[in-house]
Amino acid sequence: MKYHLPASYFSLLPWILIHRGFCFNQNPIFIKKKPVSGFWNDAHEGVNSENDTENDPETREKRIINPILMGLGLNARINPVTASTLTNGMFSTKDSLKKLEKYFPSAVAITDLPKILRKKMPSFSKRNTLLNLSLCPDEINYSFIKTLTDAYGPPFNLGGLGGIPFVGKSGINAATSHIPDSGKMFVVVAPHVGYSPSSDTLGKVKRPGRRQLSSACGAANGALSLIKKGHIKRVASGIEDFQEDYIIHQLESNQKNAQKNYDNPNDEAVWVAYEMYNIAKDVWKKIYKTNQFPAQDVAFLGGILINLGEEGDDLFQPISFSVSSEDLLTETFGGETKIQK
C-alpha cells in the first residue's frame, strides 16, 4: 500500500524522527511495536495516566507522534490479531464460521445466499416475486436486506422488534395483495444475534462509530435481562411498548423449561437467538394460516442472522427452507441446526 504524503509532512519529518529516536535498528515509524486494544487506534490513549513518563518511548508515541500522524492522515486502522486472520481489517468468513461451528453448524455467508437459493427457486425473480422480510428493524441488518433485495426486489416489511412478524393478519393480507399477477411470494423470517470474533462474544457486535460492543438483538437481550432480574411488568396502555412486552412474556414462559445455569454467556446468547426464532416462526404460522394465497407459489426461508458489524461479513444459519410446501432444508444447506423445542 502506497502512502501519498502531504507537503506539510516533510517539514515535520526531522522533528518526528528526533522524538522517535529513530535509527537503523529500530522499527519504521509507521509500524507500531504492538497493537493496542480496540478496533480503532486511540491516539490519545495513555495521556495523563500515572505511568505516562517523558522517557517511555511507547508513551511518547501515544502522546506526541500518534496525534501528529493522525493529523496528517497517516494513522492506520488496526486490530489486535495477526494480519493473516484479517482481510481489510475484518475477520475472514472462514475464520468466523469455524469459531461459530459449535452453535451454528450450517451457517453460510449472506453473500452466498442468492446463488444457493437460485438453484432451488429458479422461477422466483425480481419481476414476479414479492419479497416479504420479517427482520428486526435494527440498522445493522441492512447488509442482509440489501443482499436479498438485490436478488428479489423491494421488500414488504413484516417484522418488528426481534424479527417477529408483528404486522399480523392485516399485514400479511396486504402483502399478498401486492404480489404481481401470477407471481410468487418469498418470505424470510430471521431474528438476529451479534457476534464479535475478536473477543469471541455472542450477543454483542461492533457497530460503526462506537468504541464498545453493543447488544444485538437488543430487544431480546433486554427482555432476558429483565426476566432474570425479576423486573417484569405489563404495559398498561397496550401500545407504548407492546412488542417488547410480548417478547418478555414469551421468553419468560419458555425459559421455565430451559436450562437455568448456562456454561457461559455465549450459551445463553445462543439460547435466546434460537428461542426468538421459535417465537417468530410461531407468530408467522398463526397469521399465515388464514391467508388463501396458493402454497405452490410460496417459498419460505427461516433462520438466524448473525451480525459481525465492523469485524466481518454477516452470516446466516438456516433453520427452515421450503418451496411450494416441499422441505428443502437439508438438501439445500446440509448439516445440522440446533433448534430448541
**For the chain, what are the domain ranges?**
7-78, 87-333
Within 13 A of 86's CA, how many CA atoms are on the CB side? 14
What span, in angstroms and rounded, lies between the C-alpha atoms of 43 and 72? 13
Its pTM stands at 0.72
pLDDT digits (tens, 9 = 90+) for 253-273: 877 666 665 778 999 999 999
Distance linking the first and last C-alpha atoms of the chain: 51
87-333 placed in CATH 3.40.1050: yes
| 337: CB partners within 8 A, 6+ apart | 105, 106, 317, 318, 319, 329
Q: What is the largest CA-CA distance in the chain?
A: 78
Mean pLDDT by 10 residues, the chain (341 residues): 50 47 40 36 35 42 45 38 46 90 96 96 94 97 97 96 94 90 94 96 95 95 88 62 91 72 84 96 90 84 97 96 95 70 37
What span, in angstroms and rounded, lies between the C-alpha atoms of 185 and 132? 7
